[in-house]
Amino acid sequence: MTGLAGQVIQVEATVREDKEQCVIIGLPDASIKESKERILNCLHALDQDIDMKKITIHLSPADVRKQGTSYDAAMLLAVLQAMAKQPVKIPEKTCFIAALTLSGQLTTFHSMIPTIHQAILLGFKRIYIPPIEISLFAQAADVELIRMPDMPSLLSHLQGKTSLFENELTLIPTEPILEETEKIPHVCFSVIRGHAEAKRALLLAAAGGHHVLMSGPPGCGKSLLANAFHTILPDLTHDEMLEVYSIYQLAKQARSLSERPPFRSPHHSSSEGAIVGGGRYPKPGEMSLAHRGVLFLDELGHFPRRVVDTLRQPLESGFAVVNRVEGSDRFPATINLIAATNPCPCGYYGSHEKYCVCGDKVRLKYMNKITGPIIDRVDFVLAMKNQSVLEQKTADTSEELRQTVTRARDRQRLRYGGNYTNAIAPVKLFEEKVEFSKNQLERIETVSNQEKLSSRSTLKILRLARTIADVLGDETVSDAAVEEALRWKISASQAHSALMR
């Protein structure tokens, strides 16, 4: 696998008379070189004569770095085929995914579930695996997952002799599916007083995959709203659940097979690598752990500028790219960013309750660090205030809002195909599928010129208008939807300049 994406590795082997030796070539790392010992032991256990034989195993493509024990069974099979007088015929679209014990039993390895999932996505139709629980893949149509306890059984199955019945299998456990230690607090929208504007913004953000920056004094309800936001996101589909679970497996992080989207809120002391991903064997970072869910960055102003900068590219593309010496890995990172910040280091700039003690210079540096890199990536900038206890609660429950969001997302799925939202649908696809009237486009252009908006911001207005129409269930984008999108963009740019004043 490179990043989360699977890659087909072909295994070949030759055996010839020479000094007894076993070599594996094709950019194997130390973990694969260890496979050599297991393969030699298995050959002994299978009574194969390897005296004075040189075994060469080649993994291709040769320029892709390979690691782990997942190729063990395929390598042993290739050697047995090379030694056999009559090698068995391996059908098309067949692959072998298993590690080996010293005696030739097929066994599991780290990230086994993600690997099988990727093999299915790559179009393999017969996948030989160790005897593990496979109900997870019950929905994969036209794919045969063939569970085999050991190499002799696997060979005889390939020869068409079914010596084994599925129900004779003793299942071996895969890695335990761990329960998250941190529970996400469930905050229903209907218990939050006031904040009518923020609630509308969060509904639209959830519906179209847009990003939000909340600015306001401590205790005004930013974290509460972020938690409530999570409750209105739709459940993950089965495939999405497997995809998210796979990312956690690669990152060696706990996650249950849950239908609820992830909610990540990394601390501001987190490193760049922890946020985007990294390491010698690159692991996904927080951006990817939040894939199909929420990345909540509280106290955005305290994150190092470098870290905030790294958010820009994934926010637009839906991918986090981790660079390393031999190339780069891409991890999925389709997220809703909910960022929160105080308006200044002391937190009270613009507040009526307390006097801000920060100098202008300090405050501007603080805001510039946050807004500079991401201001044109977020659709909503909310300047929030503490709400009076007299403020009304709203009637909408999270459950009702979630249904609205789910319907809006379904419309987007139908429109774009795949998992695109209005926020990240590629420009060409968006322009192909979404229509605006001439008047609407002229109106948007006029306002963009007045407000000196960038072309990126103008495109964001179109995307947001489409989301507003999707929330209403409208086939075409109404003038009212365009006006609301314009209002949000203007208020975002005004909130930004007010903070920078």
**Cβ-based nearer residue to Zn ion, 265 or 342:** 342
User: What type of residue is 264?
Assistant: R
d(C-alpha 171, C-alpha 177), whole Å: 16
Query: Which helix (H) or strand (E) is 264 found in, with range?
Result: strand 263-264
**Cβ-based nearer residue to Zn ion, 127 or 358:** 358
**Cβ-based nearer residue to Zn ion, 371 or 421:** 371
User: Angle formed by the axes of helices 438-451 and 479-499, to 10°?
Assistant: 10
Cis? peptide before 61, omega within 30° of 0: yes
Give me the least distance between CB of 358 and Zn ion, in Å please: 3
**Cβ-based nearer residue to Zn ion, 146 or 356:** 356
Of residues 64, 70, 59, the one with CA closest to residue 112: 70
Q: Which stretches of the chain bind Zn ion, using CB under 5 A?
A: 344, 346, 349, 356, 358
Give me the least distance between CB of 364 and Zn ion, in Å please: 11
Sign of the dihedral through C-alpha 493, 496, 498, 501? negative
Give me the least distance between CB of 296 and Zn ion, in Å please: 23
**Cβ-based nearer residue to Zn ion, 352 or 438:** 352
At residue 500, φ and ψ (nearest 5 deg) are -90, 5
Give me the least distance between CB of 499 and Zn ion, in Å please: 11
Query: Which helix (H) or strand (E) is 157 found in, with range?
Result: helix 151-158
Give me the least distance between CB of 218 and Zn ion, in Å please: 11
**Cβ-based nearer residue to Zn ion, 11 or 358:** 358
Give me the least distance between CB of 361 and Zn ion, in Å please: 12
Cβ–Cβ under 8 Å, residues 175 and 130: no
Query: Which residues partner with 337 through β-bridges?
Result: 295
Residue 73 region by backbone torsions, left for phi larger than 0, else alpha for psi between -120 and 50, else beta: alpha
**Cβ-based nearer residue to Zn ion, 245 or 366:** 366
Cβ–Cβ under 8 Å, residues 172 and 108: yes
Give me the least distance between CB of 5 and Zn ion, in Å please: 46
Quick one: 208 exposed, middle or buried, by C-beta within 10 A (0-12, 13-18, 19+)?
buried
Helix spans in 351-437 (H)? 360-374, 398-416, 427-433
**Cβ-based nearer residue to Zn ion, 28 or 343:** 343
Query: Which residues partner with 59 through β-bridges?
Result: 11
Cβ–Cβ under 8 Å, residues 39 and 77: no
How far is residue 66 CA from its own chain's centroid? 22
d(C-alpha 248, C-alpha 6), whole Å: 16
Give me the least distance between CB of 354 and Zn ion, in Å please: 9
Give me the least distance between CB of 267 and Zn ion, in Å please: 22
Give me 299's structure tokens.
């106290």
Of residues 62, 53, 102, 98, the one with CA closest to residue 77: 98
**Cβ-based nearer residue to Zn ion, 361 or 452:** 361
**Cβ-based nearer residue to Zn ion, 171 or 357:** 357
Give me the least distance between CB of 456 and Zn ion, in Å please: 30
Sign of the dihedral through C-alpha 67, 72, 73, 74? positive
